[in-house]
């Protein structure tokens, strides 16, 4: 039976956010591969977060990247094998680890960032800076709205 409740995905900002996210991941990976940089878009996301922090716990990385801890752990394993991150035991509790970029990771980061910056610039061609600020503000508000739902029953 045909569903009478129809949503036009083309009019939903959520569809376009998701669509853009997929495009960005694909183009990032194409850009990294073209420069022979052995990093996925998902790994880049973790390196980008780490670039703004001296070190983070896996839990913090999981929360900041909105990925579950198992997925982050697998990505960290790959980044560690590539010698781009290191796991360091904390001094306060030897059972806990902090994640930090290695010197090799910090050395590679500018090349990765150059690819990302180029993609960002290409995606913003023809978009006025005031519109960029408005879109960013709207997306942040939508994200905050969803974050406030944590622990509440589904809508």
pLDDT tens, residue by residue, 65-123: 999 999 999 999 999 999 999 999 877 777 789 999 999 999 999 999 999 999 999 99
Say if 106 falls within a structural domain: yes
How many domains does the chain contain in total? 1
> Tokens for 133?
């600020």
Q: Which domain holds residue 55?
A: 35-115
CB 46 within 8 A of CB 61: yes
For residue 90, what are the contacts with CB-CB under 8 A and spacing of at least 6? 96, 97, 98
Please state the pTM of the whole predicted model. Answer: 0.85
Say if 142 falls within a structural domain: no
Say if 45 falls within a structural domain: yes
CB 85 within 8 A of CB 102: yes
């Amino acid at each position: 039976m045909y569903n009478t409740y129809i949503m036009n995905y083309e009019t939903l900002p959520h569809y376009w956010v998701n669509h853009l996210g997929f495009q960005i991941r694909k183009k990032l990976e194409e850009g990294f591969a073209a420069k022979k940089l052995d990093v996925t878009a998902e790994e880049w996301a973790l390196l980008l977060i780490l670039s703004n922090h001296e070190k983070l716990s896996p839990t913090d990385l999981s929360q900041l990247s909105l990925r579950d801890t198992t997925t982050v752990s697998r990505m960290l394993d790959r980044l560690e094998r590539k010698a781009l991150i290191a796991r360091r035991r904390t001094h306060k509790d030897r059972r806990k680890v902090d994640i930090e970029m290695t010197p090799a990771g910090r050395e590679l980061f500018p090349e990765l960032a150059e690819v990302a910056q180029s993609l960002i610039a290409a995606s913003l061609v023809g978009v006025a800076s005031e519109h960029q600020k408005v879109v960013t503000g709207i997306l942040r508000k939508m994200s905050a709205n969803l974050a406030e739902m944590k622990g509440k029953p589904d809508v």
